[in-house]
């Protein structure tokens, strides 16, 4: 994920597992704190949460974690405004059944519960009885859910309910914009703000608003001004200052064009085009000898490594999109970068964290999806690696939510890749992720981050730390991809 120094991930034949040792976990956690992150609730300010890394529970207005014995969900927080609070659900309640129906043991408890909520809220005046254990006693808590209407099989496309949900989340996102045009990032300084603001700009453009028309036209223009002014700036010094290298500017240089190219396709502007030419040149200048990119210039970072493949995905995507509007990168730089991506793979399609020992070839669906997007924007669908990556990714779509450091970024890359690969892959992507999205969306319109095994180990959730703008814009971007309003 952008904006923090990360360790790698290994993949065994049986699945994905973390290769981050205990001392490296501690080091990463320390780096997160040093970069100014903090664990936030990921929900409204009125949520009181003992466990800051719990699952949001969709329209309920509460957060919780799955349990095995008995199978169910233990409530970690109840928001003051929402159906859960109105119905008397309490922090610490253990939901063991819904209307007398126990949780299926062969299904994810969060998804099963959200399915209950989604079905109930599709009916007018629906009341859901939650069977809970409270202080060792059985209680029945009756929850009245808002009527949201039914979903359709083509969700999120041509679905009135999803469109209403998207509209509410767009309004929520727009309200997070600052006067200077930025959307808040609680991690990564100036680079973090550029990354998050670029993503928010994309989400607003995907809604159908343009720089000149629509309810979010002014928000889009202000986002553009902030991004063009600040892309490539960073308030973290590199090792040339005799300190650990915290420089993160390649993230802002990579994300800015992904937004600005879509902006230019709606409204041409010679000043933005000139700025993109400067950004393109800077991305090429910052390319390492290997062909890959580090978090930023200035030599090895504070964990003493240089390149990471995911950074190549972002920079190559930026170069590919700028090439589409006539800002052509040097061909040699692109070829070196593609060779670096190939070297991170074991030849079977899965793209590893880097070319370093223990990371080369250790494939990951989110990283692989990012590489698919990069090669697609460069017009390299016939590259020998492309088809292998597409096959690898399609078989492992369900693992995106466990992505290293930022599952939200992995899911975003995965959604874009699925959209580009066609209707069958998109349908396969949406099958597990529709409930993931429904669970993440809060009654206030924002989307919350989800915990993973890795975030539990780190006791820090980067997606949650980045804040509501990051998660909400990411999910909005994914849900609006079928509208086809962006540069990819």
Classify residue 310 as exposed, middle or buried by CB count within 10 Å of its CB (0-12, 13-18, 19+): buried
Q: Which residues pair with 95 in a beta bridge?
A: 73, 132
DSSP secondary structure, 109-131, as one string: HHHHHHHHHHHHTTSTT-EEEEE
Rounded to the nearest 5°, which phi and psi values hold at 292? -90, -175
Do 214 and 192 contact (CB within 8 A), yes or no? no
Length of the chain: 488
For residue 85, give every residue at least 6 positions away whose Cβ sits within 8 Å of its Cβ, in sequence order, or none.
61, 78, 79
Domain range list for the chain: 9-40+152-483, 55-144
Output the six-digit token pair for 218.
């002014």
Taking CA atoms, 278 is separated from 71, 319, 335, in Å, by 56, 12, 20
User: How does pLDDT run along the chain (488 residues), one tens digit per residue?
Assistant: 454 444 444 333 333 333 333 333 333 433 343 343 322 333 444 443 345 689 999 999 999 999 988 899 999 999 988 999 999 999 999 999 999 999 988 888 999 999 999 999 998 888 899 999 999 999 999 999 998 888 888 888 888 999 999 999 999 999 999 999 999 888 888 999 999 999 999 999 999 999 999 999 999 999 999 999 999 997 655 555 567 888 899 999 999 999 999 999 999 999 999 999 999 999 999 999 999 999 999 888 888 889 999 999 999 999 999 999 999 999 999 999 999 999 999 888 999 999 988 888 888 999 999 999 999 999 999 999 999 999 999 999 999 998 888 999 999 999 999 999 999 999 999 988 889 999 999 999 999 999 998 888 888 889 998 999 999 999 999 999 999 999 88
CA dist 434 and 429 (Å) reads 9
> By C-alpha distance, which of 314, 206, 178, 215 is closest to 255?
314
Over residues 451-482, the pLDDT tens digits come to 998 888 888 889 998 999 999 999 999 999 99
Report the pLDDT value the prediction gives residue 240, as an integer from 0 to 100: 55
Among 1.50.10.20, 3.50.50.60, 3.30.70.1560, 1.10.150.240, name the CATH number for the domain at 9-40+152-483: 1.50.10.20
> By C-alpha distance, which of 468, 452, 407 is closest to 186?
468
Do 314 and 1 contact (CB within 8 A), yes or no? no
CA dist 476 and 168 (Å) reads 10
Report the pLDDT value the prediction gives residue 51, as an integer from 0 to 100: 56
Report the pLDDT value the prediction gives residue 97, as an integer from 0 to 100: 96
Do 248 and 189 contact (CB within 8 A), yes or no? yes
Q: Is 104 helix (H, G, I), strand (E, B) or coil?
A: coil
Q: Fold for domain 55-144?
A: Pdz3 Domain (2.30.42)
CA dist 80 and 82 (Å) reads 6
Report the pLDDT value the prediction gives residue 70, as an integer from 0 to 100: 87
Report the pLDDT value the prediction gives residue 450, as an integer from 0 to 100: 92
CA dist 378 and 338 (Å) reads 10
Output the six-digit token pair for 155.
């969700």
Report the pLDDT value the prediction gives residue 22, as an integer from 0 to 100: 34
Residue whose pair of structure tokens reads 């971007």 in the numeric block: 477
Centre a 10 Å sphere on the Cβ of residue 134 and count the other Cβ atoms it contains.
14
Output the six-digit token pair for 151.
């979903």
pTM of the model: 0.89
What is the H or E stretch that residue 437 is in? Answer: helix 423-440
Residue whose pair of structure tokens reads 């909005």 in the numeric block: 476
Peptide bond into 280 cis (omega under 30): no
Report the pLDDT value the prediction gives residue 315, as an integer from 0 to 100: 98
Report the pLDDT value the prediction gives residue 26, as an integer from 0 to 100: 34
Report the pLDDT value the prediction gives residue 19, as an integer from 0 to 100: 39
Report the pLDDT value the prediction gives residue 1, as an integer from 0 to 100: 40
Report the pLDDT value the prediction gives residue 460, as an integer from 0 to 100: 84
CA dist 440 and 111 (Å) reads 11
Do 228 and 260 contact (CB within 8 A), yes or no? yes
Do 203 and 480 contact (CB within 8 A), yes or no? yes
């Amino acid at each position: 994920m952008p904006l923090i120094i990360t360790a790698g991930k290994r993949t065994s034949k049986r699945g994905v597992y973390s290769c981050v040792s205990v001392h490296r976990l501690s080091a990463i956690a320390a780096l997160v704190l040093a970069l100014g992150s903090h664990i936030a609730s990921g929900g409204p300010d009125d949520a009181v949460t003992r466990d800051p890394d719990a699952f949001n529970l969709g329209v309920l207005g509460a957060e919780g974690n799955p349990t095995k014995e008995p199978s169910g969900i233990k409530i970690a927080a109840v928001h003051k405004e929402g159906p859960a609070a109105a119905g008397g659900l309490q922090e610490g309640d253990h939901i063991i059944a819904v209307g007398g129906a126990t949780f299926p043991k062969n299904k994810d408890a969060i998804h099963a519960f959200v399915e209950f909520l989604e079905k109930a809220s599709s009916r007018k005046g629906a009341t859901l009885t939650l069977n809970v254990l409270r202080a060792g006693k059985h209680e029945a808590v009756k929850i009245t859910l808002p009527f949201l209407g039914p979903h359709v099989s083509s969700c999120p496309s041509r679905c009135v309910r999803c469109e209403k949900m998207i509209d509410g989340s767009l309004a929520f996102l727009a309200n997070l914009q600052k006067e200077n045009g930025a959307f808040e990032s609680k991690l990564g300084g100036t680079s973090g703000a550029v990354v998050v603001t670029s993503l928010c700009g994309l989400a607003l453009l995907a809604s159908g608003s343009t720089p000149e028309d629509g309810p979010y036209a002014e928000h889009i223009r202000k986002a553009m001004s902030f991004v063009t002014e600040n892309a490539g700036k960073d308030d973290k010094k590199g090792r040339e200052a005799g300190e650990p290298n915290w420089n993160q500017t390649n993230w802002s240089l990579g994300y800015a064009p992904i937004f600005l190219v879509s902006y230019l396709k709606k409204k041409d502007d010679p000043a933005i085009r000139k700025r993109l030419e400067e950004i393109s040149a800077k991305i090429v200048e910052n390319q390492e000898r290997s062909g890959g990119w580090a978090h930023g210039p200035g030599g090895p970072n504070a964990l003493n490594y240089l390149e990471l493949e995911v950074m190549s995905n972002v920079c190559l995507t930026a170069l590919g999109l700028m090439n589409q509007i006539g800002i052509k990168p040097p061909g040699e730089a692109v070829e070196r970068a593609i060779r670096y991506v190939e070297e991170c793979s074991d030849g079977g399609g899965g793209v590893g964290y880097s070319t370093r020992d223990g990371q080369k070839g250790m494939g990951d669906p989110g990283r692989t999806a990012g590489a698919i997007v990069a090669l697609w924007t460069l017009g390299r669908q016939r590259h020998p690696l492309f088809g292998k990556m597409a096959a690898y990714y399609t078989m492992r779509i369900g693992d995106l939510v466990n992505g290293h450091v930022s599952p939200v970024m992995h899911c975003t890359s995965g959604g874009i890749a699925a959209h580009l690969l066609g209707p069958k892959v998109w349908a396969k992507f949406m099958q597990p992720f529709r409930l993931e999205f429904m669970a993440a969306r809060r009654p206030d319109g924002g989307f919350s981050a989800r915990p993973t095994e890795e975030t539990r180990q780190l006791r820090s959730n980067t997606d949650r730390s980045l804040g509501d703008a990051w998660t909400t814009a990411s999910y909005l971007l994914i849900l609006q991809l079928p509208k086809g309003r962006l540069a990819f």
